Amino acid sequence: MQRQETYFIIREDTTTNSMKEFLSNIVADIGNTRIKWGRCEQGKVVEAISLPPEDFEAWYEQRTKWQSKLPHRCSWTIAGVQPAWRDTLIQWVESQGESVRKIDTFKQLNVTLAVDNPNRVGLDRLFNALAAREEFPNRPAIIVDAGTAITVDLVDDKGVFQGGSILPGLGLMSKALNAYTALLPLVEIPDHPEELPLPGKNTAQAIQTGIYWQAVGGVAYICDRMNRLTNKEAVVIITGGNGLKLNAGLKISTQVRPFLTLEGIRMTAEKHS
């Protein structure tokens, strides 16, 4: 259902009495496996939580947990790459009597794209680009977001989104091996997969190490190739639910930013409403 109306809590800046900002109290990033909520305070995402999609009970519980740290009636900004789940959350938030702003097109973001079809790029990739540019201005950035899929994107030193690569995530690779073979079990990638013995000594270890080092190796290779395209050394930023796991195996120097996508959503709501 399309909702036209959006409401904002407008904070008057009492020092100048002329500036008005649109502030979100909660930002939400709807992924393909989980949804992430970020609690914002004084122009920053200060806390984030990963929640199941379409689970009103879990949402209510989390909203209640945050009640003491938030205004009675919150202002939300919601975006993501799973439109049906996104709209379910929007409707739920509205049913709770809170206000929602939706970001659903790249045109709402202050990002220039050098790609064939800007409309098709997942907004999570663009929020990452925006947040990276804000933190590392005038420096090329390579952003690795390890979730359901793994994306490796290049933002040039002028802040232009130059595109990137999309790889299957760790969970998807595991599911694919299980679904399309007779003998391979479904295995979880454990914490600290970089410590697993290589060569693997059983089927599970063989799958775990294969998936893990394929992802690490692929990401490292793409980062190296992208870095050769830039005139200045790029900063490599890691984010996403599996970001820490991936980072543990990467030999290159990186910056881990768990809230990168949520920060990009917060900035978009604040600056370009």
Ligand X SMILES: Nc1ncnc2c1ncn2[C@@H]1O[C@H](COP(=O)(O)OP(=O)(O)OP(=O)(O)O)[C@@H](O)[C@H]1O
Q: Nearest approach, Cβ of 127 to ligand X (angstroms)?
A: 10
- The CA distances from residue 9 to 43, 82, 87, in Å, are 14, 26, 21
Site string for ligand PAU, 213-252 (x = CB under 6 A): ----------------------------------------
User: Does 176 contact ligand X by CB under 6 A?
Assistant: no
- The answer to whether residues 79 and 125 touch, using CB atoms and an 8 Å cutoff, is no
Cα separation of 143 and 225, whole Å?
13
User: Does 50 contact ligand X by CB under 6 A?
Assistant: yes
Which residues are paired to 141 by β-bridges?
155, 235
Total site size for ligand X, rule CB under 6 A: 15
- The answer to whether residues 239 and 128 touch, using CB atoms and an 8 Å cutoff, is yes
Cα separation of 159 and 129, whole Å?
8
Contacts of 92 (CB under 8 A, 6+ apart): 56, 59
User: Does 178 contact ligand X by CB under 6 A?
Assistant: no
Q: Of these partners, K ion, ligand PAU, ligand X, none, which one is at the site of residue 121 (CB under 5 to 8 Å by kind)? A: ligand PAU
Which residues are annotated as part of the binding site for ATP? 29-36, 148
The residue within the footprint of ligand PAU, chosen from 27, 74, 81, 260 (CB under 6 A), is 81
Site string for ligand PAU, 154-183 (x = CB under 6 A): ------------x-----------------
The residue within the footprint of ligand PAU, chosen from 122, 171, 241, 264 (CB under 6 A), is 122
Cα separation of 161 and 164, whole Å?
9
Q: Nearest approach, Cβ of 148 to K ion (angstroms)?
A: 7
The region that residue 17 occupies, defined by phi over 0 for left and psi between -120 and 50 for alpha, beta otherwise, is left
Residue with smaller CB distance to ligand X, 31 or 264 = 31
124 is catalytic: yes
- The answer to whether residues 155 and 249 touch, using CB atoms and an 8 Å cutoff, is no
Task: Produce one character per residue of 176-188: b if its CB has 16 or more CB atoms within 10 Å, e if not.
Answer: ebeeeeeebeebe
Alpha carbon 49 to its chain's center: 12
Q: Of these partners, ligand X, ligand PAU, K ion, none, which one is at the site of residue 156 (CB under 5 to 8 Å by kind)? A: none
User: Does 38 contact ligand X by CB under 6 A?
Assistant: no
Which residues are annotated as part of the binding site? 29-36, 122-125, 145, 148, 203
User: Does 32 contact ligand X by CB under 6 A?
Assistant: yes
Taking the alpha carbons at both ends of the chain, their separation in whole angstroms is 21
From 36-44, 84-92, 122-130, 185-193, span contacting ligand PAU (CB under 6 A): 122-130
Type and span of the H or E element at 132: helix 123-135
Give the residues lining the site for ligand PAU (CB under 6 A): 32, 81, 120-122, 124-125, 147, 149, 151, 166
Residues annotated as part of the active site: 124
